[in-house]
Structure 1
Amino acid sequence: MSLQDRLDAFKADFEAGKPPYETRPAVIETMHRATAELIASGAAGRALKAGDKAPAFILNDPEGNAVSSADLLAKGPLVLSFYRGVWCPYCNMDLQALQAALPAVQNLGASLVAISPQNAPNSRKSVRQNGLGFPILSDPHNDVAAAFGLRFELPDYLVELYKGFKNDLPTFNGDPSWTLPMPARFVIGQDGTILYAEVNPDYTRRPDPEEMLPVLRGALVKA
């Protein structure tokens, strides 16, 4: 079963209100409204694309160690996945699919990291619960996400819904702004050029990691 098939199956159960979700129709309507508005805003079209230069960054891993994009690119291509947080089941399934692809990514000489606005304790929880062999880097205030064109502010009505779900983003992230990154995946070549970019304002839609492997093979040939 593909990653998207698994996401679609989860979404169908959630929206049908199957236990343990018991989702109310008004909740589903609110989520659909927020996604439709983000799509209509055109924000995804303004994000960085293949051919653009990737912003350099230095972020901390869950243990407080500084991780530099320049150091990672010195070793080979870099795969970046922007992750909303431990509270997002779609994001966790995405991480699990990336973990399954990690051996192939590493065999092609690439590094893989996820970037999230959440704080270090929540990233450690994400790594542990999803059995990850790659780090989740903390992006305070979504500044790196903004540099990639991914940061957006949640509308007030969605903030109220999240609060009702106990998804208190200021607590998860240590940041009062109520912003998130659009889910995105990038492959960056050693010269800093983005070779592959997948950005989707619909958080329930994610590309299968297999899709980026031919790009990594091409980067290996060029190197």
Structure 2
Amino acid sequence: MTNKILILFAFIAVTAVNTINAQVPSNAEDVSPLLIGERVPEATLIDPDGNKLTLKSVIKEKPTVLVFYRGGWCPYCNAQLSGLSESESKILELGYQIIAISPDNYKNLKPTMQEDNVAYSLYSDPEAKLIQDIGIGFETPSMAKMYIKKKTKMDATDILPVPTVMVLNTSGEILFEYINPNYKVRLSESLLLSALKALKDDM
């Protein structure tokens, strides 16, 4: 009887794991992100010094340009982060802050900030949990895992985000979003600034 119960528990546990894994799409084109008008879920992030903090505590200060990037190993992400640095003064003048989140190990955040001349905040999303909860995560391709390990000397997370830009109010409501499964195509500065100006006029 005891053996049967143990086998049943083991079956339930394996089924639960498989169900969780099945919820993460294998392709970037198959993600199902939260929509404009919905609120981002609460999450625990890690800053470049290894300190834990909540997403809520970060976004409550002012409206936020929230960027999800694949990692500091990605040249397209680096170009995007650098471009945001160049636009940061204009974004701040409009009353917004910028934060960028990736599944990178927090130890990789400072090198990325230095390489891309980033003054705004970068955070790590441990195990890509927030990325999954927002619905922009997909399984890291095997070739990407090998590339990431070669570049960072660390194991890649099992999940990557589709590159995403969201604009949030201080309550975490999504006011605007740009999500493109083609990681080579990023939101332009002009479109972002136009959206921020339009949203500010409506606030």
Fold shared per TM-score above 0.5: yes
Given the superposition, is the C-alpha separation of residues 160 and 69 from structure 1 closer, same or farther in structure 2, using an over 3 Å criterion? closer
Residue 19 of structure 2: aligned partner:
none
- Alignment of 1:189 with 2:194, yes or no, is no
Residue 131 of structure 1: aligned partner:
117
- Kindly name which structure, 1 or 2, has the bigger radius of gyration based on alpha carbons: 2
Amino acid at match of 2:127: H
For the 8 Å contact 2:148–2:154, the answer to whether it is kept is no
Given the superposition, is the C-alpha separation of residues 112 and 64 from structure 1 closer, same or farther in structure 2, using an over 3 Å criterion? same
Structure-2 separation of matches of 1:184 and 1:167:
20
> How far 1:108 sits from its partner (Å)?
1.5
Residue 9 of structure 1: aligned partner:
none
Q: What's the % identity of the aligned pairs?
A: 29
| Equivalent residue in structure 1 for 2:160, among 180, 183, 200 | 180
Structure-2 separation of matches of 1:52 and 1:161:
31
| Equivalent residue in structure 2 for 1:168, among 149, 168, 178 | 149
Query: Equivalent residue of 2:50, what SS?
Result: coil
In structure 1, list runs of 5 or more residues that go unmatched: 1-36
CA distances 1:194-220 after superposition (whole Å, capped 9, x unpaired): 011111111101111332223333443
Query: Equivalent residue of 2:65, what SS?
Result: strand
For the 8 Å contact 1:48–1:197, the answer to whether it is kept is no
Structure-2 separation of matches of 1:97 and 1:146:
26
- Alignment of 1:38 with 2:27, yes or no, is yes
| Equivalent residue in structure 1 for 2:57, among 71, 79, 98 | 71
In structure 2, list runs of 5 or more residues that go unmatched: 1-25
For the 8 Å contact 1:188–1:194, the answer to whether it is kept is yes
Structure-2 separation of matches of 1:133 and 1:122:
15
Amino acid at match of 2:149: D
Residue 127 of structure 2: aligned partner:
141
Query: Equivalent residue of 1:167, what SS?
Result: helix
Structure-1 separation of matches of 2:34 and 2:139:
18
Residue 214 of structure 1: aligned partner:
194
Amino acid at match of 1:179: I
Aligned length: 178
Structure-1 separation of matches of 2:34 and 2:106:
26
Residue 12 of structure 2: aligned partner:
none
| TM-score normalised to structure 1 length | 0.71
Query: Equivalent residue of 2:114, what SS?
Result: helix
Amino acid at match of 1:183: P
Given the superposition, is the C-alpha separation of residues 222 and 58 from structure 1 closer, same or farther in structure 2, using an over 3 Å criterion? farther
- Alignment of 1:53 with 2:39, yes or no, is yes
Given the superposition, is the C-alpha separation of residues 207 and 118 from structure 1 closer, same or farther in structure 2, using an over 3 Å criterion? same
For the 8 Å contact 2:148–2:155, the answer to whether it is kept is no
Structure-2 separation of matches of 1:186 and 1:221:
17
CA distances 1:10-60 after superposition (whole Å, capped 9, x unpaired): xxxxxxxxxxxxxxxxxxxxxxxxxxx835x532xx112222212222312
Given the superposition, is the C-alpha separation of residues 107 and 145 from structure 1 closer, same or farther in structure 2, using an over 3 Å criterion? same
CA distances 1:61-94 after superposition (whole Å, capped 9, x unpaired): 1012334332333321111111111211011001
| TM-score normalised to structure 2 length | 0.77
Query: Equivalent residue of 1:168, what SS?
Result: helix
Residue 10 of structure 1: aligned partner:
none
Residue 68 of structure 2: aligned partner:
82
